[in-house]
A = this chain, B = another copy of it.
Amino acid sequence: MAEADMRGVPVPTVKRFPLYLSELEKLKKEGTLWVSATVIARRLGLKAIQVRKDMAYTRVAGIPKRGFPLNELMHAIRSSLGWTRINDAFLVGAGALGSALLGYGGFHERGLNIVSAFDRDPDIVNHPVNGTEVLHIDRFRDLARRMKIKLGIITVPDMYAQDIADLMVESGIRGIWDFSSVRLNLPDSVVVQKEDLSCGLALLSVKLSG
Binds B, one of A29-37, A96-104, A115-123, A137-145: A96-104
Say yes or no: B202 contacts A14, CB within 8 Å: yes
Q: Is the CB of A11 within 8 A of B203?
A: yes
Q: Contact partner of A207 among B175, B201, B209, CB < 8 A?
A: B175
The range of chain A's interface size is: 35 or more
Docked pose: A7 CA to B166 CA in angstroms: 42
The B-contacting residues of A in range 53-111, CB under 8 angstroms, are 80-83, 87, 95-97, 99-104, 106-107, 110-111
| Chain B min CB distance to A4 (Å) | 10
Asked if residues B81 and A202 are in contact (CB atoms below 8 Å), the reply is yes
CA distance A204 to B82 in the complex (A): 10
Residues of B near A103 (CB, < 8 A) are 95-97
Choose among B14, B45, B95, B174 the residue that contacts A203 (Cβ–Cβ < 8 A): B14
- Which residues of chain A in 106-163 are interfacial with respect to chain B, using CB atoms and an 8 Å cutoff? 106-107, 110-112, 130, 150-151
* Chain B residue with the shortest CB-CB distance to A79: B209
- Measured CB to CB, the residues of A under 8 A from B are 6-7, 9, 11, 14-15, 17-19, 22, 43-45, 80-83, 87, 95-97, 99-104, 106-107, 110-112, 130, 150-151, 174-175, 177, 181, 183, 191, 193-210
